[in-house]
Structure 1
Amino acid sequence: MLDDFMVRAALAGLGLVMATGALGSFVVWRRMAYFGDSTSHAAILGVALSFAFAFPLYLGTLAVAVGMALLVAWLTGRGQSMDTVLGVLAHSALAVGLVAVSFVPGLRVDLDAFLFGDILAVGKDDLVWIWGGAALVLALLIWRWQRLIAATVNEELAMASGIDPKFERLILSLALAVVVAIAIRIVGALLISAMLIVPAAAARGFSRTPEQMVGFATLAGIISVLGGLWGSLRLDTPAGPSIVVVAAMIYALSLVTYRR
Structure 2
Amino acid sequence: MREHTVPGDPTLAVRDLGGDRPPLVLLHGAGGDSAGLLPLAERLRGAYRVVLPDLRGHGRSGAAPWSWAGALDDLARVVAALGLDRPAVVGGSLGGMLAARWAARQPECPGAVSLDGLPVPSRPDQLAGLDPTRAAAELARLEAVFAGMAAAMPDPAEADRLRRAMADLDLDAACRALAAPLLLVLATEDLPAQQPFAELYAAYRRGTLARLTAIAARQPRLRLHPLPGASHAMLAERPDRIAELVAGFLAERP
TM-score (norm 2): 0.28
| The structure with more strand, counted as a fraction of residues | 2
TM-score (norm 1): 0.28
| The structure with more helix, counted as a fraction of residues | 1
The answer to which structure, 1 or 2, has the higher relative contact order (CA under 8 A, 6+ apart) is 1
